[in-house]
């Protein structure tokens, strides 16, 4: 049971870090411009799960995404968030 809680906490921590990075980028930069593409690519390494999940939800609501595509994207977001969460926990344990 402890392992399951650690898994869920890691996913939550990763998705939270992703959302914070995505929102800070939107606040600081606003709309993406041509000169910011390298910065945007670097930020998307961390902010990717939040951005991808937001896009998937909008696509599912607008019926432009097939439900299978939505669930595959959600599975990818969970896995990506798990990796980020484990990284966040590792950094916090060593600080």
Mean pLDDT value of segment 6-26: 94
Cα angle 32, 43, 93; round to 5: 155
pLDDT above 90: residue 56? yes
Token pair of 28, please?
A: 């600081």
pLDDT above 80: residue 36? no
pLDDT above 80: residue 70? yes
| Residue given tokens 């930020």 in the structure block | 43
Cβ atoms 60, 77 nearer than 8 A: no
Distance separating alpha carbons of residues 41 and 22, to the nearest angstrom: 12
Token pair of 61, please?
A: 């609501």
Mean pLDDT value of segment 53-71: 96
> Of 78, 75, 85, whose CA–CA distance to 10 is shortest?
85
pLDDT of residue 9: 96
pLDDT above 90: residue 29? no
pLDDT of residue 25: 87
């Amino acid at each position: 049971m402890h392992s399951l809680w650690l898994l869920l906490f890691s996913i939550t921590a990763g998705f939270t870090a992703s959302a914070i990075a995505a929102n800070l980028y939107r606040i600081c930069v606003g709309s993406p411009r041509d000169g910011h593409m390298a910065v945007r690519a670097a930020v998307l390494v961390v902010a990717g799960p939040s951005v991808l999940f937001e896009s998937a939800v909008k696509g599912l609501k607008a019926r432009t995404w097939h439900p299978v595509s939505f669930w595959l994207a959600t599975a990818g977001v969970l896995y990506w968030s798990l990796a980020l969460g484990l990284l966040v926990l590792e950094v916090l344990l060593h600080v």
